[in-house]
Amino acid sequence: MAYLGNAPAEKYISFERQVFTIVNSQTAYTLSHSVTNENDIRLVVNNIVQEPGSGKAYTASGTTLTLSAALVNGTDEMYCVFLGRAVGTVNAPAGSVGTAQLAADAVTNAKVDSSVITGQTAETSIATDDTILIHDTSASALRKMTRANFVSGVGGTNTPAFEAYLSTNQSFSDASYTKINFNTEIYDTDSDYDNSSNYRFTPTTAGKYLIYSTIVMYTSSSTILDAQLAIYKNGSLHKETDLEIDNDTEKRVNISTSTVIDFNGSSDYVEIYGYLNSSSGSPTFRGSGTEQCNFGAFKIIT
């Protein structure tokens, strides 16, 4: 009758055969393969199939074959066929082998056609929804991710980050460190900079940050003796940059500085202070025109 699916092979397996050398008066022989019992082999003596079992022609266990009666060398011939041991096969029908027939981790590099990958055209641009194959070590399995998801999990971002400037002039006392009120934000990614009261940066993500600042200070006369720009962490001096002026000839100074600070992501904060010592005139932080005081920071990817 007709059937569905692949046609079965007419001959799929053949069984191994062992020929014995007869030893006179001997009833015990050694099998070339271990068996569970005599039913695992077909024993043929002088071209006659023998009946297996206790009290019959033979028994077998492991690699020992025991005959019920001894044979005569030169007169008798004996061989057995291992009914449970296939030694030859024919090709399985096309499409008949599925994943259930493959053992886990059975496919080696030698069986994989490398041209599947090396023969392909190199990708020059990747779409957001293109997938990338990665190995998940926690599950010992291959996973696929979209490009968008893969990129989001690589490296890091330089945030929180901000930059602010002083939009109006700020007067301060001579020869005294004064905090600069950077009151106008250019950007503030995580709203971590206070530009209205404390004028400090308190990052909400722990890590190392690059802190930078440039300030412009001046007096009404050319009487500046020295000037400093200081970075304060948690209310204490962290780094100071000093500029000394010879012969009281300057009325305006520009100082820049930067440093890397480790923040705990909760209570640590940073502020900028300026200092100007002059023999006369009122010192001022410049907050108008093209030269202004600025203060910024961003997280470093480590």
Tokens of 10: 């007419």
In a domain, 99, yes or no: no
Q: What is the pLDDT of residues 17-53, one digit of tens each?
A: 999 999 999 999 999 999 989 999 999 999 999 999 9
Q: Global pTM?
A: 0.55
Question: CATH no. for residue 267?
Answer: 2.60.120.40
Q: Which pLDDT score, from 0 to 100, does residue 217 have?
A: 93
In a domain, 95, yes or no: no
* Identity of the amino acid at 92: A
Identify whether residues 179 and 63 lie together within a single domain: no
Identify whether residues 183 and 60 lie together within a single domain: no
Q: Which pLDDT score, from 0 to 100, does residue 220 have?
A: 81
Domain end call among 89, 120, 139: 89
Identify whether residues 82 and 186 lie together within a single domain: no
115: helix, coil or strand? helix
- Do the beta carbons of residue 189 and residue 282 sit within 8 Å? no
Q: Which pLDDT score, from 0 to 100, does residue 9 have?
A: 57
Residue that has been written with the tokens 């460190």 in this structure: 177
Neighbours of 19 (CB within 10 A): 9
Identify whether residues 172 and 283 lie together within a single domain: yes
pLDDT bucket at 111, cuts 50 / 70 / 90: confident
In a domain, 137, yes or no: no
Average pLDDT over residues 45-70: 95
Identify whether residues 173 and 78 lie together within a single domain: no
Structural domain containing residue 253: 161-299
Identify whether residues 191 and 295 lie together within a single domain: yes
Domain end call among 70, 89, 108: 89
In a domain, 260, yes or no: yes
In a domain, 37, yes or no: yes
Does 130 score more than 70 pLDDT? yes
Identify whether residues 77 and 179 lie together within a single domain: no
Identify whether residues 83 and 167 lie together within a single domain: no
Please tell me the least confidently modeled range out of 119-123, 136-140, 173-177, 286-290.
119-123
Q: What is the pLDDT of residues 248-276, one digit of tens each?
A: 667 889 999 999 999 999 999 999 999 99
Q: What is the pLDDT of residues 77-106, one digit of tens each?
A: 999 999 877 555 566 777 777 888 888 877
Cα torsion through 204, 209, 210, 211, rounded to 10: 50
Average pLDDT over residues 6-16: 66
In a domain, 264, yes or no: yes
Identify whether residues 284 and 178 lie together within a single domain: yes
- Do the beta carbons of residue 176 and residue 285 sit within 8 Å? no
Identify whether residues 173 and 295 lie together within a single domain: yes
Q: Which long-range contacts (CB under 8 A, 24 or more apart) does 73-78 make?
A: 73/21, 73/22, 73/23, 73/24, 74/22, 76/22, 76/45, 76/46, 77/22, 77/45, 77/46, 77/47, 78/19, 78/20, 78/22, 78/29, 78/43, 78/44, 78/45, 78/46
* Of 158 and 93, more confident: 158
Q: What is the pLDDT of residues 161-216, one digit of tens each?
A: 999 999 999 999 999 999 999 999 999 999 999 999 999 999 999 999 999 999 99
Identify whether residues 194 and 279 lie together within a single domain: yes
In a domain, 27, yes or no: yes
One-letter-per-residue 3-state SS of 226-282: EEEEEEEECCEEEEEEEEECCCCCECEEEEEEEEEEEECCCCCCEEEEEEEEECCCC
In a domain, 96, yes or no: no
Domain end call among 30, 54, 89: 89
Identify whether residues 173 and 79 lie together within a single domain: no
Tell me how many domains the chain contains.
Answer: 2
- Do the beta carbons of residue 192 and residue 296 sit within 8 Å? no
